[in-house]
Structure 1
Amino acid sequence: MNAEARLGGGVTLLLFVLIFLPLLAVLVNVLFPGVFFGKPHFGGFGLLGEIFHRPLWRKSLLNSTVLALGAASLGTVMGGALATVRARWQFASARLLDLTAWVLLIAPSFMIAQGWVLFASRDGLVNEWLGWSWVPAFIFQPAGLVFVMALSKFPLAYLAILAATEWNVNQFGQAARLNGARPWTVWRTIELPLSRPSYLAGWTLVFMDTIGDFGLPAALATVYKFPTLTYSIYSAIYQSPVRFDMAGVLAFYLVVLLVLAMGLLMFSIRRSRFDFLNARAVKTVKIKPRSTWLLNIVVGCFLLLCLGIPIGTSAVVSLMKTAGGGLTWDNLTFASYRELFAGAAGDHELLGYLAGLSHSLTIAAFAAVFSMLIGFAAAYVLSFTESRFRSALQLFSIVSLAVPGVVLGIGYIFIWNQRWLEPVGLHLYGTPSLLVIAGIAGAIPYAVRVQLGAFGNLSGTMLKAAAIQGAGLFDRMRHIVLPIVRQSLLLATLASFGTSIFDLALASMLKPANYSLMPLVIDRAFEFSRYGYATAATVVSCGAVVLIIVIAQAAGRRLLGIGDRSGTRRKDR
């Protein structure tokens, strides 16, 4: 077996253990309950049908499906409309729209949801300050939750559809207009059908991200009863007695829904037609609309709604003595921040925030570095080798995009909580090491995708020439590929770090006893109605992570010589 085959086999095995094996364990536990606890027996398929007879199970499935379908449809409409406007017109708030989309894409959903709860609950800011009782009545019901979820998930559809508008073929629309078609007719009959695959891809991405979301149900649990598959799985693990049968069945149906969505996405990609991009295709040229001021106002109000309300509410509440006291000088205080940095939350139920932040940063740092290395190897195998493991590696990398944190968490409990692992030192459940491994698994999809984009711009001719000259696999990776894609390695590391540190689902399910983690400190403080403490922790955490990423990016670019033209000239000489 040559070096490329060994690399492909090793990376595939890693992804199998980290991602596919936990998923497989969850599915096996449905048919063979007790198999991971020394009492294997075939339970048959009857347990799967129990979801239609047990009220909580049935309600969880129904709520998740309705929420995902509604958020996917409304989010795609929002994203499609904004992408069309962004692609066609030039206006001042366009860059702010792009920035907001990326912030919402990276921001943890439980923090966004907590901001909405503080704003829209019956004792929230909008009801206490303005007396708008209709806002709580609207938000805390299924249609309102769909609306909130669509506001936070629309960037997935927006970015997918916007990418498809880079090129266009104007003669189709011009021919229609010459025959008397109005702009709406041209868009409906020509432009929309040509961009249908991107709309379908955006819809499926929003659907998958919504149905696997854990943050919104966790935040809502304090004020509104709305069981979903993800939160019911978590509850089944942490109730007494533990209901592994319930968790397994709900996880099975969650996976089924995700598989159906992935199948729809693959179908849309295969049915996509690109032959309309002929020699007459040109880059989309933005024009300045007549009523630019009106467009800026509309986009600005939308951005205030989707990002300003949740983030602004958290920032305001963190500075207030009581949320109902109004925004007055007498009600403003830094007490929550002082309590935050005092090292304890002032409540025996809460562990110190600083310790939790330190633990979360350390785990995220290890996960980011290792996921970047694994992503680099995986992207190399997929881009430049003919390894027989490429198909399996491609499958695992795609599956990793759809596996929710709660499914990954319960799978890790099944696998790493085995007595026979103790003699060999691999009984990792209840240790920080498992959190690092879970963080790596959760970050790998981002690390692989970021690096695949950079590898796609690299020609394999140089690698073949180096191989002919006798350069080994690792020499080619180190001396040719690494210097060219070093910026993508930095971006992959930072992206993995940002996504790992706020993972509430994995932190909730895998945390060791008496071990503090930043997302859990925030969630627990929110659960105990310590809103000032929770929001102050949210503000400080987000600020700290952004600062670390900015400093790490600047330091990384300096150390790696990215953008150093003088250094390049010296090397050329």
Structure 2
Amino acid sequence: MRIGPGGTAARTAGTSIPRAFLTNLQPVRVIVISLSILILLALIAYPLLLLMGHSFIGPDGNLTFETITKAFSRRGMTQATINSGILVVTVTAGACAIGIPLAWIVARTDTPGKLLVTLSAGVAFVIPTFVSVISWIFLAAPNSGYLNALALEWFGLTTAPFNIMSFTGLIFIETIGVYPLVFFAVVTALNNVDASNEQAARILGAGRARTALTITLPLVRPAILTSVILVMLDALSSFGAPAAIGTMANFSVLTTKIYDLLTFPPRFNYAAAVAMPIMIFTLISLLIQKYAIRAENFRTLTGKATPDQIIRLGRWRWLSAGFCLVVAAITAILPIGALILLSVLRSFGSDITADNLVSQHYALILNENFVARGAIGNSLLLAAATATVCAFLGLIFAWVVERIDFIGKGAITFLIMIAYGFPSIAYAVGIMMGYVDWFYGTLTLILIAYAGKLLPIAFVLVRNGIQQLSVDLEEAARISGAGWLRGIADITFPLMRGAIGIGWVLVFSLSLRELSMSAILSQADTQVMPTVVIQFIEDGAIELAAALSVIIVSISIAILVLVKRFSRKPASALD
């Protein structure tokens, strides 16, 4: 007997679909995912919307540019804007001038000492710029720097040749701090370039220089573009070095002006307005990166085995090695050595003798009644809490984006990643406007800022791992009766703990050295190590600043070693 469209079978099928849908939703999964999305909106969307609202919406609720106009009409703002522009251009040019040749030397030549270049770039990368300021004050202060003293004595000069306490000194410090971004991006791209392209050019008669300029360089252009954008954003949003040097040399950039606007009495609307151009520049840069790379095909890994094109430099290899040694000495060896020496020197400017080497600065810092002791505890607590929150949310969001097919998952990815692109100081302004009434003077306020800013790191690492994880294991767990939460805990997490672990330690390390957001959000009882370092510099206690900086750098290098151990762990070890 045939049953029509309105019959019992049709009604049964019609009711079974929504029931199955509701059954598959799993209440625990719905609750966890919904809460996570609400947290994401609170961490990122809400502060950024507040920034835009305070900048472009007037008291009457209408769109206006009056706030931005008034903010940039304040005294010194024009010069600060010009200084920021000059800083971005010069630092980017300097980082490329160092990073690209070094990457080519390491990836394409037989220059000796290439391991030293890679190690020094890694060390330079983990040294925060506000810490580099301390080292270079010790080395190149105009009146008491030890390099200046040696130059005056050895060469009979009448004027000190170096002055780190200047705008030029700021450019130098920022450049040696960000060139590793260019170096690591380009050297990775060069290692991935199919050498057969360069072989073909050489067979057709192209020389080494022409091959490098017409074949190699265009193939690594995406890596160069990406690193250039990262360097520009880093220079534009830098706060630590400009604050330390600008105070002594009497100049400002946009980030230090934002900080000034938040001192008592705070002017949130003007601070938000000054942050808007930085945010707009960030968005434009990210869009340029996205569409410029998409416009052309840069894929060169074909799966064919092709020997690397190692260029033999002959006698020029020693000149190349000399260049590498100079860069390593200036960016890593000298700063680390100067920082350690200054931290045990009785006082800045003292002769370097055994009698002047003391440990009193470390004893004072570790004294429980001293401000630095509390700052160390706050930093470690915040770093651990931030890393844990980011690892958990990163796992949830990575699973949602990769395992659930729904319309809004692209918006989740965009919202997470856009926070990483925004300058820290601008993001901190939004956090302060949104949560200062609830969490003023607490570590929770700083934790919210850290978590929102650093979540993309954990998200990207865990997402890459989940993309390599077959869904069959999770399906088998569900068939065996495991719920969603148990499947995550028993299947996904154990297999992903390597990626989650790397994400945790990286977020921990970056939280430990974060200054821009901490300077705006911390109060007397919530100081962290970077803010105390800046306070020591401003107070002239440069030896104490060096001792506390040694602790920060030591932990950062230890974290770097830990990351390398995690990344080398075989997949089987994660089972």
TM-score, with length taken from structure 2: 0.85
Residue type matched to 1:528 in 2?
A: D
- Of 393, 397, 411 in structure 2, the residue corresponding to residue 392 of structure 1 is 411
Partner AA of 1:126 in structure 2:
L
In structure 1, stretches of 5+ residues that fail to align are 35-39, 345-350, 419-426
Residue by residue over 1:196-237, the C-alpha shift from the partner in whole angstroms, topping out at 9 and shown as x without a partner, is 111111111111122111111122133212311111111110
Match of 2:37 among 12, 18, 22: 12
Query: Which residue is 1:177 aligned to?
Result: 202
Counterpart of 2:123 in 1: which secondary structure? helix
Whichever residue aligns with residue 241 of structure 1, its letter is P
Other-structure match for 2:364 = 339
Equivalent of 2:132 in 96, 101, 112: 112
Superposition deviation, residue 287 in structure 1 = 6.5
Q: Greater CA deviation, 103-112 or 363-372? A: 103-112
Corresponding position: 1:128 with 2:154 = no
CA contact 1:8–1:390 (8 Å) conserved in 2: no
Q: Classify the secondary structure of the residue corresponding to 1:453.
A: helix
The answer for the alignment partner of 1:451 in structure 2 is 462
Inter-partner Cα distance in structure 2 for 1:150 and 1:106: 14
Matched, 1:373 2:373: no
| Alpha-carbon distance between aligned partners in 1 of 2:301 and 2:162, rounded to the nearest angstrom | 48
Matched, 1:505 2:540: no
Match of 1:268 in 2: 292
Which one-letter code corresponds to 2:430 in the other structure? G
SS in 1 for 2:251: coil
CA distance in structure 2 between the aligned counterparts of 1:142 and 1:57, rounded to whole angstroms: 16
Q: Any conservation in 2 of the 1:167–1:282 contact (CA below 8 Å)?
A: no
Partner of residue 537, structure 2: 526
Aligned-residue offset at 1:545: 5.5
Query: For residues 272 and 101 of structure 1, what CA distance do their matches in structure 2 show?
Result: 30
Indicate yes or no: 2:226 matched with 1:206: no
Q: 3-state SS of the aligned residue for 2:252?
A: coil
Secondary structure of the residue aligned to 2:87 is helix
Opposite residue 251 of structure 1, the aligned amino acid is A
Deviation at 1:72, TM superposition (A): 1.8
**SS in structure 1 opposite 2:416?**
helix
Cα shift at 1:51: 5.6
1:24 and 2:39 aligned: no
- Partner residue, 1:66: 86
1:269-284 equivalence runs, <5 A: 269-278=293-302, 280=304, 282=306, 284=308
The percentage of aligned residue pairs carrying the same residue is: 24
Quickly say closer, same or farther: Cα 1:20–1:107, change in 2 above 3 A: farther
1:92-143: CA deviation from partner (whole Å, max 9, x where unpaired) = 5333322333333333221123322332221322223433745434x45544
- Give TM-score scaled by structure 1 length: 0.86
Cα distance in 2 between the residues matched to 1:553 and 1:457: 20
Whether 1:309 aligns to 2:334 is yes
Q: Secondary structure at the match of 1:223?
A: helix
Match of 2:15 in 1: none
Aligned 8 A contact 2:141 2:148 in 1: yes
SS of aligned partner of 1:325: coil
Q: 1:28-51: per-residue Cα shift (whole Å, max 9, x none)? A: 1112367xxxxx755721332346
Q: Identify unmatched segments of 5+ residues in structure 2.
A: 1-21
1:498 is displaced (CA, Å) by 0.7
CA distance in 1, matches of 2:328, 2:376: 29
**Among candidates 152, 172, 195, match of residue 177 of structure 2:** 152
2:280 counterpart letter in structure 1: V
d(CA) in 2 for partners of 1:130 and 1:522? Answer: 29
Q: In structure 2, how many angstroms separate the alpha carbons of the residues matched to 1:319 and 1:49?
A: 49
Mapping of residues 354-433 of structure 1, within 5 Å: 354-418=373-437, 427-433=438-444
Deviation at 1:331, TM superposition (A): 3.0
CA contact (8 A) 1:114 1:219 kept: no
- d(CA) in 2 for partners of 1:181, 1:134: 47
Task: State the Cα RMSD in Å.
Answer: 3.0
Give the AA of the match of 2:295: R
Deviates more, 1:499-508 or 1:308-317: 308-317
For residue 18 of structure 2, what is the aligned residue in structure 1?
Answer: none
Q: Aligned pair in 2 of structure 1 residues 508, 180: CA closer, same or farther (>3 Å)?
A: same
Matched, 1:493 2:512: no
Deviation digits for residues 288-315 of structure 1, max 9, x if unmatched? 6545554443212211111223322221
Which amino acid is 2:146 matched to?
L
* CA 1:52–1:415: 2 relative to 1, 3 Å: closer
- Contact kept in structure 2, 1:51 and 1:58, CA below 8 Å: no
Deviation (angstroms), 1:316: 1.6
The answer on whether the counterparts of 2:127 and 2:177 sit within 8 Å (CA) in structure 1 is: no
How far did residue 412 of structure 1 move? 1.5
In the alignment, which residue of structure 2 is the partner of 1:348?
Answer: none
Tell me which residue corresponds to 1:222: 247
State the partner residue of 2:550.
Answer: 539
CA distance in 1: counterparts of 2:423 and 2:69, whole angstroms: 23
Larger radius of gyration: 2
* Number of equivalences: 542
The Cα of 1:515 is off from its aligned counterpart by 3.5
